[in-house]
Structure 1
Amino acid sequence: MDSFETSILPILAILAALTGAALLTLAVRLAANYAFRKVPGFARRSAKAKLPVFGVFSLVGVRIGLSLTASGRGWFPAVEFATMTAIIVALCWLTIVTLGIGERLLLRHFTAQSVDNRKLRRLTTQITLGRRIVTALLITLAVAGLLLTIPEVRALGTGLLASAGLISIVAGLAVQSSLSNVFAGVQLAFTDAIRIDDVVVVEGLWGRIEEITLTYVVVRVWDERMLILPSTYFTGTPFENWTRNSPKIMGSVEFDVDWLAPVDELRRHLDETLAGSPLWDGRTGKMEVTDAIDGKVRLRIVVSAKDSGDLWDLRCLVRESLLTHVQSLHRASIPRQRWEHSPRDGYSPADAPRPGIELVSAANPR
């Protein structure tokens, strides 16, 4: 009978630990939901922490229960080591999940409160990258804690510390590029050089910052491709940031016409086009003659929009509108090529064409 009780006690202790962990998890969840009831979306987002919380409580309970009921068993040291390892992993998991929940709640709060898009994108970048830095440190500490639970590794601690200088030099040389990317990623996050959703031009490609990590930056190019660049690219290579201070932006449209083109009429048509387009933000809309050589007059139209996406569409609209207007009402404004006929050798003056200037359309030369 004593043998049976001795055998059943560890099982009962495990069952009691699991039951107590489930009750504690429920109590903590209810208390947290009540304490943060005024935070929108807390109950839904905090649901992801149920499993790691239960894991921590159950593992702690199992360890305590077994130490009270089976400390003298031959298998207890192995189980003790396994539970300690599992507790370290569970604590690391719980902390990482908690950081993720806090990140989402903070971002939602700032999104609802902030009206400054630039400030919001800066906070998003810093909070996201800060969470990743802390996560990397936690994983490193967890791995170190797991190694220290092994007696053989703990016994080697003195020798490792003695050779730490040499190991640091070798490791620094081996991961020099990786460490430089890590430091560059931290620099990007806290110097506000780029932010998530910034519009940039890199490697001759237009795109938006999709993700910033400790070692690389993901840029979504205009054709939906993902361009992955090391963090050091943005600290050592010049690049264009179109939304550094404000998403508002200006752009130009180049348009060639003939010398006979009615510039004032085209300018009035431009004003009508801009006034009727919701893409134009009303800041800048003008037409200027920037060149008049080689038989052509170059018009430069400068327009503005609230962001780069609207600017692209507005430039295309202005170009198409002017093209249609010229084709429909001012065909004489289409660029032409001019030749002057002169007598050639072997021809008599009577056979030579009449002197003068003849206008020949480039689209339909004679």
Structure 2
Amino acid sequence: MLDSLHLSPWATTAIAALAAVFAAAIGHRIAALLALRATRPAPLLHAVVQACVPVMRVLLPLVALQMVWQAASDEQRYIASVRHLNGLLVIACGTWLLMRGIRGLANGIIARHPADVEDNLQARRIATQARVLSRTAMSGVFMAGLAMMLMTFPGARQVGASLLASAGVVGLVAGIAARPVFSNMIAGLQIALAQPIRIDDVLIIEGEWGRVEEITGTYVVLRIWDERRLIIPLQWFIENPFQNWTRNSSEILGTVFLYADYRLPLEPLRAELDRVLETAPEWDRRVKVLQLTDVTERTIQIRVLVSARSSGLAFDLRCRVREALVTFIQRDYPECLPQVRMPATAESGQEPLRGGVSSML
């Protein structure tokens, strides 16, 4: 029919291309609805399909166009360039599709293990592994797609062949230049597998207290308690020691130190601690200890040890206990607050006592 209308070769090809794009769009619409409905009972597969649907909306028309260009006559002007450009777009979209699929798989795994529960250690472990491994895999897919696109250029293949002659020097230079990249990539795999840190872990790094907010392919974002962000390279965690307060469990002990006079009785203070903890929602009822841990020539040191379900609750509990016990001593035993004693002088009319306490200022 098209030949009977005496259309030019490019006009015929253009009409065929429009028809192919239209058919691909309809096919994508139908296939997407069916795939989303069929995978709804499987949340993991459903997440992958949801991530891939937007890319397929672009990829299917490109594949249909590539079939049209391949079927077109080789004698058409610029057809080789059009085929090459469309092929590059197909490879780029295919790489994008694989990366979206990997991300959807990771998000599906994370969604199956929510971290908004009290004991979220297992969920944080899985989330860390899924995010780090998925980003590593996506980086590999991106590099493979870029290499495939470069291999479609004859000039790039010739350059690669010529570089093989000086592979020793080039390899040495490339290895030195890429050392930080590969070091962080290997460190990311080590963190994903060994998991010295996880998402939402509480860390102490160089005196800073914060939670792991994000783990990327090259660095870790630590959210400090005052909303600052500390950016740390992945390799740093492999080469330096650090504190992880939630390595095996989020439960933690909190310590409160008090300093008082020797005359302070401890039993009323223990009774006050019991009363405060019974009304404290932060206390998990595991540990409750009040001990006299040290004495000096002027004061006694009292240590209160309490437990909480997380470091944040432990901090709030320590503040609550410290405030309540100090208020108790101020109210009921004000004379037992830390005192400074000095021997009496001749001006006061008293003889100074040697080796003892004579008066209190």
2:40 counterpart of 1:37 = yes
- In structure 2, relative to structure 1, the CA distance for the partners of 1:104 and 1:233 (3 Å cut) is same
RMSD: 2.2
Residue 39 of structure 1 deviates from its aligned partner by 3.4
| CA contact 1:200–1:239 (8 Å) conserved in 2 | yes
Conserved 8 A contact 1:196-1:210: yes
Whether the 8 Å contact between 2:50 and 2:104 is mirrored in structure 1 is no
Cα distance in structure 2, aligned partners of 1:318 and 1:112? 29
Secondary structure of the 1:24 match is helix
Instruction: Pick the aligned partner of 1:221 from 221, 224, 227.
Output: 224
State the Cα distance separating 1:114 from its structure 2 match: 9.3
Tell me if structure 1 keeps the 8 A contact 2:191–2:197.
Answer: yes
Gaps of 5+ in 1: 345-350, 361-366
> 1:1-366 residue pairs with structure 2 within 5 A?
3-40=6-43, 46-111=49-114, 117-343=120-346, 352-353=349-350, 357-360=358-361
Matches of 2:51 and 2:121, distance apart in 1: 30
Alignment CA distance shift 1:240-1:125 (3 Å): same
Q: CA deviation at 1:27?
A: 2.7
- 1:16 shift after superposition: 1.3
Distance 1:128 1:5 in 2: 53
Deviation at 1:48, TM superposition (A): 4.6
* Cα separation, 2, equivalents of 1:127 and 1:275: 41
- Following the alignment from structure 2 to structure 1, what is the Cα–Cα distance between the partners of residues 119 and 303? 32
The offset of 1:115, in angstroms, is 8.3
Q: How many corresponding residue pairs?
A: 354
How far off its partner does 1:108 sit? 0.9
Give the deviation of 1:70 after TM superposition: 4.2
Instruction: Quickly say closer, same or farther: Cα 1:112–1:21, change in 2 above 3 A.
Output: farther
1:210-236 deviation line (CA, Å, top 9, x unaligned): 111222111111111110011121111
Amino acid of the structure 2 residue aligned with 1:235:
I
Farther off after superposition, 131-140 or 289-298:
289-298
Residue 312 (structure 1) shift: 0.1
Q: Is the 8 A contact 1:186 1:214 kept in 2?
A: no
Q: Could you tell which deviates more after superposition, 322-331 or 114-123?
A: 114-123
Change (3 A) 1:8 1:221: same
- Preserved CA contact (<8 Å) 2:48 2:102: no
Q: Which amino acid aligns with 1:152?
A: G
**Are the structure 2 counterparts of residues 50 and 70 from structure 1 closer, same or farther at C-alpha, using a change threshold of 3 Å?**
farther
Q: Between 102-111 and 225-234, report the one with greater CA deviation.
A: 102-111
Contact 1:254–1:299, Cα closer than 8 Å, also in 2: yes
- Per-residue deviation, 1:43: 6.2
Between the aligned partners of 2:313 and 2:286, the Cα distance in structure 1 is: 14
- Alpha-carbon offset, residue 330 of structure 1: 1.2
Identity across aligned pairs (percent)?
A: 33
Change (3 A) 1:7 1:188: closer
TM-score, structure 1 normalization: 0.90
Q: Does the CA-based 8 Å contact 1:257-1:335 persist in structure 2? A: yes
Tell me the CA shift for residue 255 of structure 1. 0.3
Q: CA deviation at 1:26?
A: 1.6
Q: Deviations over 1:266-325 (max 9, x none)?
A: 111011111111100111111111122222111111111000000000000000001111
- After superposing on structure 2, the runs of 4+ consecutive aligned residues of structure 1 that deviate more than 4 Å are 40-48, 112-116
Give CA-to-partner distance per residue, 1:116-169, whole Å, 9 cap, x none.
522211111111111101110111111111111111112333323343333221
**How far apart are the structure 1 equivalents of 2:10 and 2:201?**
64
Between stretches 271-280 and 178-187, larger displacement belongs to 178-187
Unpaired stretches in structure 2, ≥5 consecutive residues: none
Answer yes or no: is the 8 Å Cα contact 1:251–1:315 preserved in 2.
Answer: yes
Structure 1 residue identity aligned to 2:261:
D
C-alpha contact 1:200 1:208 (8 A) present in aligned 2:
yes
What's the offset of the Cα at 1:192? 1.3
Determine helix, strand or coil for the equivalent of 1:211: strand
